[in-house]
Copies of this chain bind each other. A is one copy, B any other.
Amino acid sequence: MMLDTRKKILIVGLGLIGGSYAKALRKLGFRISAITLNREDIDYSIENGIIDEGFTEVTEESVSEAELIIFALYPKTFREWIEKYQHFFKSGALITDVTGVKSSVVYEIQEMLRPDVEFIAAHPMAGKEVYGVQNSDPKIFHGANYIVTPTDKNTESAIEDCLELGRLMGFERVSVLSPEKHDEMIGFVSQLTHCIAVSLMNCYDGEKLQDYTGDSFRDLTRIARINDEMWSELFLLNKETLLEQMDKFLLEFGKLRKTLETGDRETMREMMKISTARRALFDKK
């Protein structure tokens, strides 16, 4: 069904991710329209062949023809949008998103949504340290994970279509997780790692640090360049799960600290062996 390029796709929010979706899908032959706040982003995107048409206002005209609508907005803006404008949706439309947290978003949106449209949530685990449609690039999807998080309100065909969307755009691994499992996993592999990087950069105000750093510090703090507006919202929307993950990390870090304090070299080496074996699994892939 997805491969039917007569389907009209609307992207709401034309930033880095929205723009990368647009580029990937238009290349496949889909007709892409977009709604985004800034006129210059629309102009840039039309001039560069990223979208076919664009709007800065949400109107019946801009929404009602789309059969697939992709929301690439911050979670709270996404919810407000649905509340305010869902009466414009075409009956039978399929809605998906790119939001980085799920439990706190999916159920609420599905609850408030008109019964004749379906929302199937997805998380493209891709990004860059730069923003805006001007930096969009579907290559960020290559080698990346795309996770669909259905609930029991979703139909099999919507789940399949959403998975197909991920495959079509070039994601390497496409999978299904419950919203709760997704948030636990993302709390660990993404949010906790960002917490660590931010804390680490807050530790040291030495300006000359860059003169002495090796690759390890550079790699570890790359993600310390963070969009504070977006990430603070995502952290707070995943509060309980992220607190759990932070506490798990604190437990292990504390254990390692204790081996150092007491000179327990055997336990220290044991922890290093575990980390080495587990990390080696990644490099095999």
Contact = CB atoms under 8 A, between A and B. Distances in A.
Interface of A: 125-127, 129, 144-145, 147, 173, 175, 177, 185-186, 188-190, 192-205, 207, 209-226, 228-229, 231-232, 235-236, 239, 242-243, 245-246, 248-253, 255-257, 260-261, 263, 265, 268-269, 271-276, 278-283, 285
Given A188-B204, A197-B275, A226-B272, 10 more contacts: A125-B212, A127-B214, A175-B212, A189-B213, A196-B253, A201-B275, A216-B222, A224-B279, A228-B273, A246-B253
A10 to B, nearest CB: 27
Nearest to A233: B265
Nearest to A143: B215
A126 B212 CA distance: 11
Kindly report how many copies of this chain are found in the complex they form together.
2
A216 B223 contact: yes
13 contacts: A125-B214, A144-B214, A189-B209, A189-B212, A199-B256, A199-B271, A200-B252, A200-B275, A202-B256, A225-B279, A228-B276, A239-B263, A246-B260
B202 A190 contact: no
Contacts of A186: 212
A278 B205 contact: yes
A127 B28 CA distance: 43
A259 to B, nearest CB: 9
A42 B192 CA distance: 45
Given A235-B260, A269-B228, A216 B203 contact: no
